[in-house]
Structure 1
Amino acid sequence: MAEPLEGTFSAEHSARLLRNYRYVVERTMRALGGWIALTPELSAKLLMGRHVWDLAQQCDAFGQRLPELRSRAHVSEAANPAVATFMDSLEDAEEPDQTVERLVGVYGVLKPHLLATYRDHLARANPVYEPPTRRILARCIDDEERHIAAGETILQYLAAGPRPTERVSARRRHLEGLLAAAGGVTGDGLATRDALDVARRQTDLSDDAQEFIRLEKATGTWPVPDDLEEAQRSFAAALVAGDAAALARWLAPGLELEATAWSSLRGARYSRHLTVAFARLGHQRLLKTRLEGPSSSATVLARWTSSPEGWRIAALDVAGRDAVRPA
C-alpha cells in the first residue's frame, strides 16, 4: 500500500523543475512584450498584450515558491543548453511580416508542450505536502488552456491561404525538432500530449480571440482624407517606378529629394506597394508604405503636411528593409 507521504519529487527536484519552468515562461513573457511593437496585426497585438500579464504572474508564483523548496527566490534556469537554443530560435521571428511564425512558435509548439508538462507534473505531485506547487500548476494549466485556444484562433485567421499554411508547417517542424532534441523544457523528455481539445474551450472576455479579430476588421478602413489618399497612391506608384521627377513634385518646398531616404531606395526593383499604417500627428499625417519586389522589400515612412498646393511630404525615411525569403 502506498504511503500518503510518498512522492515522486524531492524538494530539490521540485525546485529544479520550477526554475526550468520559470526560465521558458520568463523568456516567453519578454518575447511577447517585445513583439507587440513589431506586430502590425491588431488581433495578434491584443492577444500578446493580454498574455504578457498572465506570464508575469506565473513567473512571480514560481519565484516565490522556490524559497519554500530550499532554493533561492526568483531564479530561472535552462534545463540544458539545448533548451536555450530552442528559445533563441523561438524568439528570432522579429520581422514585421513574421507574425504567423511568432504565433505558431508560442501557441502551436511551446504552450501545448507546457500544458502537457504541467498536467504530468500535477498528476504526480503529492497532494499531502505539495499543495502550494499543485495550486501554481493548476493556475498555469488554466492559463495555458485559455492561451492556446485564443492563440490557435488568431493563428488560423492570420494564416489563411496556402503560403502562410506552408510557413506555419515549416516553422512548427523546425521548433518541434529543437524542443524534442532538448528533451522538453525540463530536459527529462517530452510529456505525453493527450488530445488537447482546447480550441472549443469557453474563454474569458479578456481572451476572446474572435473579439480581437472583429476589432481588427473594424479598423480595416483607415480615415485617410480622399485627397491625401490620392496623393499617397501617386507617390507610392512613383516609388515603385523609380521615377525621381514624379517623386520630387510631392516634396514640400525646401526639401530636396537627394536629402531624403530616396538615395537608399534608388536602384531597387519593386513591383507593388501597400499602405500599412496611418496616423495623425498634429496638423501632419504619417503614412507608412510597404514596397515589395522580387528580391527585396522596404517600408517607407512619409510625413505629409497640407499646403496651398495640396498635400506635400515634409520628411521621408526608410523604416526597414529586408530580403524576400524563398517560398
Structure 2
Amino acid sequence: MQVLSPPEQIDFAHNKQLLNRYRFIEYETLRILAAWLPGTANMDWKLAMGRLLWEDAQHVQHLYQRLREIQTPAFRPPGDDALEHLMAEALHAPNEADLLAGLFRVIKSALVDTYRWHCDQTFANPDAPTLYAFKHILIDEELQLTWAEEALADHAPGEWESYIAGLLAAAGGVSGREDRRETPAPAACRKTFDCPRDAARDSRFSLVNRDAGKRITDVDHATQRLRDFESYSQEMLAAETVALIIHLTPDMPWAFTYDSARHCYDETRHCKLGIEWLAQHGRDYTKVPQNTRIYTWRSQYDAATQYCLLTMGNETHAFPHRHVQMAAYAETGDRLSAQFVSYDMADERQHVAIG
C-alpha cells in the first residue's frame, strides 16, 4: 500500500491552534483600538480607528465561524502565556502614535505574513473555508497596513516598537512556531493605560459650546439644517461612548462586541457625514465647538447605563426631529441632505434595536 507524505505543513490539529491564535490577536486589537479611541486627539486617526476596529470585528467573525465548525467551544484562550502577555502589554503604549506603530508596524505586519504563509501550507481543498476567510481578511489587513504606513510616515520607530517586537518574538511570532526569545523587560516609556473619562480633541478645536443645553426655537429651515449637520460632525462623541463600553465589557458575549464594533464605526461615519456636508457647503468643521462634556457625563456611569443613555435616550428621541427635517428636505429638493439623513436613520434604528 502506497502511503504519501503531503507537503503541507499545517495539519488539522495545528490548524485549529493557529486559527485560535489569529482570532485572539484580532479580538484583542479590536478592544485595544476601542480603549484608545476616546483619548486619541487626532481626529483623522479617530475616524480611522472606528473603521479599523470594525474591520477587525469582521476578521474575528470570519475566524469564529470557521472555528466553531472544527472545535468546541469556538472561543477559547490561546493557551500561550507569552502571546497573552504581548496583547496585554500592547495596550500600555506611551501615546497614540506608538500604540498604532506597535499594532500595525509590528503585530499586524507579522499577522499578514503569517496569513499568507498559512494559505500556502494548509490543505487547499479540505480547508477551503479557511482560505476563503483569509482571502477576505487579507484585503482589509493589507489596506490597514497601507493606512498605517501613511499615517505614521513622520513617526520614527523607537523604543516601544522594539519592545512590542521583542514580546512578539518571545511568543514565537504570530504562529508560535518561531524560535522563542527571552521576554524583554518592560520598556522605560511604557505608560499604564488609564481609562479615558474625557474625550480628547486636537488643537484645531474649541471645547466650549456656548449653545449647549439651550433650547433653540423659531429658527428658519436653513439655520436648522446647518445646526443639524454641525451636530452630525460631533457624533464622534457617540463613537467614543460605544468604544468605552467595548473596553469596559470584556466578558460580554461576542455577539454584543460584534454589534458594538459596528455601532462605533457607524458613529464615526456619521461624524464624517457631517464633516463632508459642511465642507460641501464651504464650512470648516473644526470651527464647530465640541461639546465633549456629553462624553464626560456619560462616562461616569457603568457600561449598561451608558449604552441605555445613548440608545434609548439620545438616539430614540432624535427620530421625530429627523422625520420633520426629511419632510423639509423633500419640499425643498435637498437630495444631498435627505440621502445623508436616510442612511443615518437606517443605522440608528439598528442601534436602538440593539440597545
State the partner residue of 1:106. Answer: 103
CA contact (8 A) 1:26 1:56 kept: yes
Per-residue Cα deviation, 1:150-176 (whole angstroms, up to 9, x for no partner): 01211225x3xxxxx3xx421111111
State the partner residue of 1:91. Answer: 91
State the partner residue of 1:61. Answer: 62
State the partner residue of 2:16. Answer: 15
Which one has a bigger Cα radius of gyration?
A: 1
CA contact (8 A) 1:15 1:66 kept: yes
Structure 2 residue 171 is the aligned partner of structure 1 residue 170: no
- Aligned amino acid, residue 121 of structure 1: H
> Structure 1 length as normaliser, TM-score?
0.53
Partners of 1:76 and 1:123 in 2: how far apart? 25
Partners of 1:131 and 1:281 in 2: how far apart? 48
State the partner residue of 1:150. Answer: 147
- Aligned amino acid, residue 60 of structure 1: Q
After TM superposition, give the deviation of residue 3 of structure 1 in Å. 6.4
State the partner residue of 1:309. Answer: none
- Which one has the bigger strand percentage? 1
State the partner residue of 1:279. Answer: 290
Comparing 110-119 and 138-147, the one that deviates more = 138-147
After TM superposition, give the deviation of residue 106 of structure 1 in Å. 0.9
State the partner residue of 2:75. Answer: 75
Partners of 1:224 and 1:67 in 2: how far apart? 50
Partners of 1:180 and 1:42 in 2: how far apart? 33
Distance 1:22 1:280, change over 3 A: closer
* C-alpha RMSD of the superposition: 3.3
Higher relative contact order (CA 8 A, sep 6+): 2
1:123 to 115, 120, 123: 120
Partners of 1:280 and 1:13 in 2: how far apart? 51
Per-residue Cα deviation, 1:218-239 (whole angstroms, up to 9, x for no partner): x9365979xxxxxxxxxxxxxx
The alignment-based identity, stated in percent, is: 27
After TM superposition, give the deviation of residue 15 of structure 1 in Å. 1.1
Per-residue Cα deviation, 1:9-33 (whole angstroms, up to 9, x for no partner): 3222211111111111111111111
Which secondary structure does the structure 1 equivalent of 2:152 belong to? helix
After TM superposition, give the deviation of residue 79 of structure 1 in Å. 4.7
After TM superposition, give the deviation of residue 178 of structure 1 in Å. 1.1
CA contact (8 A) 2:206 2:290 kept: no
Distance 1:132 1:173, change over 3 A: same
- Aligned amino acid, residue 161 of structure 2: R
Residue-pair matches, total:
196
Partners of 1:177 and 1:68 in 2: how far apart? 34
2:169 to 176, 180, 204: 180
Structure 2 residue 39 is the aligned partner of structure 1 residue 50: no
After TM superposition, give the deviation of residue 76 of structure 1 in Å. 3.8
CA contact (8 A) 1:64 1:73 kept: no
CA contact (8 A) 2:11 2:122 kept: no
Once the two structures are superposed, the pairs formed by residues 212-223 of structure 1 within 5 Å of their partners are 220=204, 222=206
